[in-house]
Structure 1
Amino acid sequence: MSRNSAEHDADVIVVGAGPAGATTAYHLARTGLNVLVLEKTAFPREKVCGDGLTPRAVKSLVAMGIDTSAEAGWLQNKGLRIYGGGMRLELPWPDLAEFPPYGLVRKRTDFDETLARQAQKAGARLHERTTVTGPVTDERTGRVVGVTAKPVREAGGSGEPGSGAEVTYRSPVVIAADGNSSRLSVSAGRMRRENRPMGVAVRTYFESPRHDDDWLESWLELWDGKPGQSNLLPGYGWVFGMGDGTSNVGLGLLNTSTGFQNADYRGLLKAWLSGMPPEWGFVDDRQVGPVRGAALPMGFNRKPHYASGLMLVGDAGGMVNPFNGEGIAYAMESGEMAADVVAQALARPDGPARERVLESYPRALSARYGGYYTMGRIFVKAIGNPQVMKIATRHGLPHPVLMRFTIKLLANLTDPRGGDAMDRLINALAKVTPAA
């Protein structure tokens, strides 16, 4: 049952309808709350991503009731195929009780809209082409009590997004799910933390006979010049078959390397692809669309995740995994966590009791990810040294047992209770490592 009163436009306002916002809105709407989602673009829309989903993300899709069958347009994958040090190694996703033993591939143009429409089916109200311009704060307390926004000028849908008259929407809780730049968070005074790792991903599509490959492919050796005559960069390249005649091909780099700021990412992508077999089709005349890039905000690079009526989920809170650059799974998981906290909070009267519940959200995030993300920050700092990266690639890959441990660690795929010795070791390390 909705709990909003005449003075509010919704129980909860969610800014952004990407994976974080749509998942948050879905789980909130399922509780009967009046949920308003404001999205600056219109679906379908383009987003820069590898389009590959690990079992963590699949679990969240299942929890939303999404049909992930091949008939519904999803391509399953078995695990990770790794190239490096002259070796090729296939590592199946681990067989766990906590997560399904398969991943998925789906273009973001379809994926984001699928989640947004699922949130609508659950009862969330979605306003597309509505640009949020800033928070509304209580003059006395400074608490965020809503947002200002500019919808498309004409109700019929013509005109530019955000070209209409400014409108004010009010709610007891506002959730920022507006991505890496998170203008709403910045407007509320929450800046990016410069001591957290940041990544950059660039990708494009090629028509390729490898489009139906049922393994996610990771290439661990990226050089800033000719292999063996230059530095090995901290990052990896990927090839993900899309099942539609194309492959998503891209690379991700970390800012822990000395040349990060001056790197020509598109040039690196082109140089890396020049070494691929020509029959794979990763050549200029088979390219579909331009090379696009995006930032990867990692390791809780914006805090606090809740304060004074404003809650951050997904990329807005810097929740990309530092180990592997995965963001969608953590966007969806944090959205579900946020929804649970907000629903419990709004079941209490406005005041200190409600605020205590809302303030539990950052602690829940820290308990789940804090130690693991700290380990990730240590990891990315270490592989910023080319010699460390070279040793890890050349001497780690020949050991399958070590690599099975590595895939569990990097993809954060363990059973939290029980599990095998690898699970217990990774879980223990994450538990004893201090969150920061």
Structure 2
Amino acid sequence: MSRTTVCALSPKQNNTDVAIIGGGPAGLAAAIALQKKGIECTVVEALEPPIDKGCGEGLMPDALHSLKELGIEITEEEGYPFQGIRFATSADRVDAEFPNGTGIGVRRTHLHQRMSHRAREVGVTLAWRSHATLSSGGRLLINGAEMRYRWLIGADGTASQVRKWAGLDEERFYSQRFGFRRHYQIAPWGKYVEVHWGRLVSYTSPLSRVTACASY
């Protein structure tokens, strides 16, 4: 029996085996895997699905296999297949094909919808548009109400509040990164995700007749 998506948790839902902060693919994958083993999970996310990001999602063969084990099968009809990665400069090019299958490029919103649906299906409690606050002593507040948990998982990205709360930020290396994106409505011209090296680094990924580009 799946649990409905909630924005405000009931007193009963404020008790869980595992609280997962962050409802992107990493947090949802952890919740699905644990819930399938009978471990009650609650995912807390400030945004509401489907959650997008600056570029598409290039799912490697191993990622497709892992998704299938979670009960999520991504087909080529949902995106665009690619056979490897191409690294290129103005003078040189190296192609590396996957030895164990084909990858699929999909939109992040599509992947997030599939994973959110599967999480609900297996019984994960999903708290969208919810704010998590961590305080001393391991106290966790969700929208101001205390949540009791046995384990806490931080899946809240590069600016993770859970990592800071756990004191793991002291050894972190900081660097600046700037991202730009543009989507082109054209048919992909090759069978690879391409990484182009120059003064800037850019990559292109095939996404169901749309090639997405980003530069850093």
Q: Does the alignment reach a TM-score above 0.5?
A: yes
**Number of aligned pairs?**
205
Gaps in structure 1 of 5+ consecutive residues = 1-5, 95-99, 138-143, 151-165, 224-232, 253-436
CA–CA separation in structure 2 for the residues paired with 1:192 and 1:208 = 44
Moved over 4 A (4+): none
Give the direction of change, closer, same or farther, for the CA distance of 1:179–1:55 in structure 2 (3 Å limit). Answer: same
CA–CA separation in structure 1 for the residues paired with 2:116 and 2:140 = 20
The correspondence for 1:248, drawn from 200, 207, 212, is 212
Residue of structure 1 equivalent to 2:115: 115
The correspondence for 2:39, drawn from 27, 30, 33, is 33
Q: CA deviation at 1:85?
A: 4.8
TM-score w.r.t. structure 1 length?
0.43
Bigger strand share:
2
Larger radius of gyration between Structure 1 and Structure 2: 1
CA–CA separation in structure 2 for the residues paired with 1:57 and 1:203 = 25
Amino acid paired to 2:208: G
Residue of structure 1 equivalent to 2:8: none
Q: Is structure 2 residue 55 aligned with structure 1 residue 62?
A: no
User: CA deviation digits over 1:350-385, x for unaligned, max 9?
Assistant: xxxxxxxxxxxxxxxxxxxxxxxxxxxxxxxxxxxx
Residue of structure 1 equivalent to 2:167: 189
User: CA deviation digits over 1:302-356, x for unaligned, max 9?
Assistant: xxxxxxxxxxxxxxxxxxxxxxxxxxxxxxxxxxxxxxxxxxxxxxxxxxxxxxx
Report 1:38-57 matches (<5 A): 38-57=44-63
Q: CA deviation at 1:37?
A: 0.9
Amino acid paired to 2:207: M
Residue of structure 1 equivalent to 2:153: 175
Residue of structure 2 equivalent to 1:239: 204
Amino acid paired to 2:110: D
Residue of structure 1 equivalent to 2:182: 205
Residue of structure 1 equivalent to 2:134: 134
Residue of structure 1 equivalent to 2:6: none
User: CA deviation digits over 1:43-68, x for unaligned, max 9?
Assistant: 01222345222233223222212121
Tell me, yes or no, if the aligned pair for 1:51 and 1:107 is still in contact at 8 Å: yes
The correspondence for 1:216, drawn from 193, 199, 210, is 193
TM-score w.r.t. structure 2 length?
0.82
CA–CA separation in structure 2 for the residues paired with 1:28 and 1:167 = 24
Residue of structure 2 equivalent to 1:416: none
Q: Percentage identity across aligned positions?
A: 23
**Structure 1 counterpart SS, 2:114:** helix
Residue of structure 1 equivalent to 2:141: 148
**Structure 2 counterpart SS, 1:170:** strand
Bigger helix share:
1
Amino acid paired to 2:195: S
Give the direction of change, closer, same or farther, for the CA distance of 1:112–1:218 in structure 2 (3 Å limit). Answer: same
CA–CA separation in structure 2 for the residues paired with 1:85 and 1:214 = 19
Residue of structure 2 equivalent to 1:275: none
User: Relative contact order (alpha carbons < 8 A, sep ≥ 6): 1 or 2 greater?
Assistant: 2
CA–CA separation in structure 2 for the residues paired with 1:38 and 1:136 = 19
Q: CA deviation at 1:30?
A: 0.3
**Structure 1 counterpart SS, 2:177:** strand
User: CA deviation digits over 1:276-297, x for unaligned, max 9?
Assistant: xxxxxxxxxxxxxxxxxxxxxx
CA–CA separation in structure 1 for the residues paired with 2:206 and 2:109 = 16
Q: CA deviation at 1:197?
A: 7.0
**Structure 2 counterpart SS, 1:130:** coil
CA–CA separation in structure 2 for the residues paired with 1:102 and 1:109 = 21
Tell me, yes or no, if the aligned pair for 1:79 and 1:93 is still in contact at 8 Å: yes
CA–CA separation in structure 1 for the residues paired with 2:48 and 2:76 = 26
CA–CA separation in structure 1 for the residues paired with 2:174 and 2:145 = 37
Gaps in structure 2 of 5+ consecutive residues = 1-11
**Structure 2 counterpart SS, 1:43:** coil
